[in-house]
Amino acid sequence: MTLLTPSLTHLNQRAASLLESASRDPLLRIRHEETPKAAVVDFGVTAEGGLEAGLALARICLSGLADVTLSPPGGEQPLPLPAVTVRTDFPLEACLLSQYAGCRLQTDDYFAMGSGPLRAVLRKEELIHEFTATEDGSVAVGVLETGTLPPAAAIESLRAGLPAECRLLLAAARTASQAGTLQVVARSLETALHKLHSLNFPLQAIISGMGTAPLPPAAKNDLAAIGRTNDAILYGGIVNLWVRCEDDLLRDIGPRVPSCSSSSFGQTFLGLFKAANYDFYAMDAALFSPAVVVFHNLRSGRSFRFGNLNPAVLAESCG
């Protein structure tokens, strides 16, 4: 069991400060609504949102422990797309304990994928207990990937797992919105950490991380957007990790980390998703990783690269 740095365990307070600041900024083109049970901020469900809203939403997902930026297209590409870059010196806290979509908000007539540090208050995931990341519950901040704003019954269902006095703040965006697309593509680093965790790599050995992935155009619907955003990471994502461990561990685990370790590599995510009857869990888990992962070992001074970009599939996905 890993104890986190005490000053970094207040993930929800950090995220709440960012969300409250964003909700007061008229330039983000988002909407804030107070309900009896929660404050809901619309970043791209019915609100226009935009690129700046997407950057703000991604930073909230990361509890303010990572910088998120957009940069112009670089190099020769079939489709010149801007890049979303995430960098942090606190990859475990920012990515797996905050940004990872580890919970669902589901009722009879509503569904949303949930991420953000509210997971440390809900305390339902083994991952949260593994790293002793539970919080006191004075405030909980969640980010919903959803096509509709949560109805009262869904909010009440979520509140049932929180302390009675907990202040609940929710941010929401549909995947096909500009903000929703950007915040999903900002998960390149988190995807690498999740893959490494599944391979039993010691996450405490990861000192810093940086991930970059191309930002595809917003799709016409959420299903198409799910395909494009995943392909951006699977076929265009590059992650650099600064680690402190033995070189032999990197040589052994490295080939199993990038998306090309899957036999499904080279096919669009949407095609694979349809073949799996739209069930994420029926797909090959090895595919869910960036295209390229580079380890920089602070102990030995050596670097190791694994994986390959596949711009042709990315161009097909965005076409």
Residue 28 pLDDT > 80: yes
Quote the pLDDT of residue 4. 53
User: Angle at CA 74, nearest 5°, toward 73 and 78?
Assistant: 75
Which pLDDT score is estimated for 78?
A: 63
Structure tokens at 49: 């949102």
Domain map of the chain by residue range?
A: 1-64+101-174, 187-319
Q: Residue 79: what pLDDT?
A: 77
Contact 227/261 with Cβ under 8 angstroms? no
Contact residues for 133 (Cβ-Cβ < 8 A; gap 6+): 4, 9, 11, 93, 97, 120
pLDDT of residue 3 exceeding 50, the answer is no
The percentage of residues in the chain with a pLDDT greater than 90, rounded to a whole number, is 89
Mean pLDDT calculated for residue range 257-275: 96
pLDDT digits (tens, 9 = 90+) for 130-157: 987 778 899 999 999 999 999 999 999 9
Tell how strand 139-145 and strand 167-173 pair up.
Answer: parallel
Question: Per-residue pLDDT tens for 54-101?
Answer: 999 999 999 999 999 999 987 656 678 999 999 999 999 999 999 999
pLDDT over threshold 60, residue 217: yes
Rg (CA), the chain: 19
Q: In this structure, which CATH number among 3.40.50.2300, 3.30.1030.10, 3.90.79.10, 3.30.420.480 belongs to the domain 187-319?
A: 3.30.1030.10
**Per-residue pLDDT at 1:** 41
| 3-state SS assignment for residue 59 | helix
C-alpha triplet 64, 16, 124: angle, nearest 5°: 90
So what's the pLDDT on residue 208?
98
Q: What's the N-to-C CA distance of the chain in angstroms?
A: 46
Residues 108-134 have a mean pLDDT of 91
CB-CB contact of 17 with 26 (8 Å): no
Q: Which residues contact 216 (CB under 8 A, 6 or more apart)?
A: 81, 181, 185, 228, 229, 231, 232, 314, 317, 318
Mean pLDDT (whole number) for 170-199:
98
Q: Can you read off the two tokens belonging to residue 145?
A: 């990937």
Beta bridge partners of 172: 42, 144
Check pLDDT > 60 for residue 116. Answer: yes
pLDDT at 9: 56
Please give the model's pTM, rounded to 2 decimal places: 0.95
3-state secondary structure at position 20: helix
Contact 72, 82 (CB under 8 A): yes
Mean pLDDT (whole number) for 249-268: 97
pLDDT digits (tens, 9 = 90+) for 277-310: 988 889 999 999 999 999 999 999 999 999 999 9
Whole-number mean pLDDT of the chain? 94
Which distant-in-sequence residues (6+ apart) come within 8 Å of 229 by Cβ? 175, 181, 184, 185, 216
- 1-64+101-174 carries CATH number 3.10.340.11: yes
How much of the chain, in percent, has pLDDT values that exceed 70? 96
pLDDT for residue 5: 53
Residue type at 58 in one-letter notation? A
Q: Is the pLDDT of residue 165 over 50?
A: yes
